Amino acid sequence: MAPPHALEPLSVEPVATDGRRIRSNTTVEAAEALSSELGKITIANEAVAQIVARTAAESYGVVAMAPRAPLGKLLPERPTRGIAVKGTPEGLRIDLHVVVEYGLNLAEVGATVRSRVAYEVARLTGLTVAAVEVHIEDVRQSG
């Protein structure tokens, strides 16, 4: 029997109770959370995406989130638009698509967003962040 402070593994490929593989993983097990006889902790990808969205929106130079695909421009606006979160054995992989203020150094804004998102997600969830990919889709004047 594992001690009560044993680490839980990161769930990568969930399986339904009847043995079928589930196509999309909508939750990620908190890899660094303490396990107990009371159960395990799972964090929905959407919850992580909300953290990413708020952190990116607060970052200097980010004007808006951009859709991941051209078809996304037709869909209604939502806070997590342009954000994808995926659990891997190495940790979370986060993709975010942003619009940056015209006239700013795009590389600096992208690097700042990447480091802030990685820090905040790790701090607020306790999960390991393997990668944060920032895609600057457009530049525009705010106002």
CATH number of the domain bearing residue 113: 3.30.70.1350
**Does residue 83 lie in a domain region?**
yes
Assigned domain for 50 exists: yes
Establish if 78 belongs to a structural domain: yes
Tens of pLDDT, residue by residue over 72-88, are 444 455 678 899 999 88
Residue 36 lies in a domain: no
Over residues 33-59, the pLDDT tens digits come to 445 678 888 888 999 999 999 999 999
Q: Is the pLDDT of residue 121 over 80?
A: yes
Closest CA to 92 of 142, 27, 34, 2: 27
Q: Is residue 53 part of a domain?
A: yes
CA dist., res. 117 & res. 96, Å (int):
10
Q: Can you give the residue range of the structural domain that contains 121? A: 45-140
* Assessment of whether the complete model's pTM goes beyond 0.85: no
- Position 23 in a domain: no
Task: Look over the chain and give the mean of its residue pLDDT values, rounded to a whole number.
Answer: 78
Q: CA 16 to CA 99: how far, in whole Å?
A: 39
Neighbours of 113 (CB within 10 A): 24
The whole-number pLDDT of residue 69 equals: 54
DSSP for residue 73: G
pLDDT at 18 over 70: no
44: left (phi over 0), alpha (psi -120 to 50) or beta: beta
Q: Which residue has the higher pLDDT, 121 or 68?
A: 121
* Residue 120 forms part of a structural domain: yes
Domain count, the chain: 1
Report if residue 38 sits inside a domain. Answer: no
